[in-house]
A and B are shown apart, each in its own frame.
Chain A
């Protein structure tokens, strides 16, 4: 309902809506333009061809786009904690998390999802994949689990902002930084970094591990084959942990009293 309210409010200025949606599309497309520019000068990056990188990029960008659409306003929470307007959310009979997620819900963020899907469609069209039912099923599964993992990071970041009110940018390094990292193949990065995003902050389950199964590429860190099928479990685990963090954060909230 709150999301609906924000949609109606943006639709009041239709021209502005079209412009900002296009702007969003163009701004996020810059990342892929960078990839294209790189491939205009080299044939492979980290041993991966352009369609393969486009596949990883498309999955990462689409699942991140879905998350951004649903809970992308989480970084505004710090401001609400600072200026005390979070109080208005606490007295309404709707879960605070849902309200924060729908805060300034912006349909223009569809630009990001569209861009990711286009790149993914291009990759699937050009790649010569030996499609089995399992591989086919993996693509939508990746997008959903990936979005859930990113959402968990967003919510955990939101919980962190209850404590560090001014530090919403730290969250950006895990969300925006995370999706940027996943847009390139794991062979590009140092082993320790790959270990970190596999075992500590499990971003590798968004697209690297299931994606490399679809592409028929070896996994990083010599992980076993079955690891490609674990994203639903990982996503559920992440969401549970993020939920606990959120409750703890909300409980520690002290209003500014203003």
Chain B
């Protein structure tokens, strides 16, 4: 089996695995829609008070709300993808078996996570966005090219998200219990990705800082490409640089960990 086909198969496996839980997906769609609804009203009140807050008009702000709900699971901004499983494998020592497999550990999990992200984009993203478009005045582009540009930004964003969570999981080699780090990473993810509030609404220097951090690739970046408020190429370069840098760091830490750390339970 060629390596390309192997990782495609892993990605398809990841997609199917999440597609199994249909009731849970429906329940999740319902929850995303309810939260989207609450946030939409809060944002309307905000933009009524100050039109063009953060450079968005009200329709753009509402689009942002529904986009962020649609991307929540695909981007795993609150965690909850492969990392829990990887942490568990590191803790129990099963990781030793993975390391003997003729597949690259990082690429394996990346493919699996790509499948997961793809499922969540379709399964949990499309419906809340459609609901938002039906009941609110959104600023969705009619141009298919903008949508394609948006999807590329989403794809790059999922890689950045993966590389961040891979680092979180690797910390378990030293800490064994990944709960604390996972929680800190969840807080950073929600705060710095733009899930909480669009990053261009953050005041002053704080806004500049959060926009320069990798998390802005998860929600703010793709949203701005779709809303036409950011240059797609610039966004891609930003996302790709973070993705490559963090993936390389992950590789480095992984090699240190596997060489120096005694595997549990062997």
- A residues with a Cβ closer than 8 A to B are 13, 16, 19-20, 23-24, 26-27, 30, 33-34, 37-38, 40-46, 164-170, 172-173, 177, 180-181, 184, 187-190, 193
Contact = CB atoms under 8 A, between A and B. Distances in A.
Given A37-B203, A41-B53, A169-B24, A190 B38 contact: no
B107 to A, nearest CB: 31
8 contacts: A20-B180, A27-B187, A41-B50, A41-B53, A164-B27, A166-B27, A170-B27, A184-B41
A169 B49 contact: no
Nearest to B21: A166
Interface of B: 21-24, 26-28, 30-31, 33-35, 37-38, 41-42, 44-46, 49-50, 53-54, 177, 179-180, 183-184, 186-187, 190-191, 196-197, 201-203
A16 B35 contact: no
Contacts of B50: 41-42
State the majority secondary structure of interface residues on B. Answer: helix
Given A172-B31, A180-B35, A34 B183 contact: no
Contact of A167 (B23, B54, B203): B23
A30 B53 contact: no
B191 A188 contact: no
A168 B25 CA distance: 11
Contacts of B179: 16, 19-20
Contact of B31 (A16, A46, A170, A189): A170
State the majority secondary structure of interface residues on A. Answer: helix
Contact of A34 (B38, B184, B196): B196
Given A16-B180, A37-B203, A46-B45, A168 B27 contact: yes
Greatest chain B CB density within 10 A among A16, A164, A173, A187 is at A173
A169 B196 CA distance: 20
A166 B42 contact: no
B134 to A, nearest CB: 15
Given A23-B183, A41-B53, A173 B41 contact: no
A42 B197 CA distance: 14
B202 A37 contact: yes
Given A41-B53, A169-B30, A170-B30, A193 B41 contact: yes
A167 B35 CA distance: 16
A180 B31 CA distance: 12
Contacts of B201: 37-38, 41
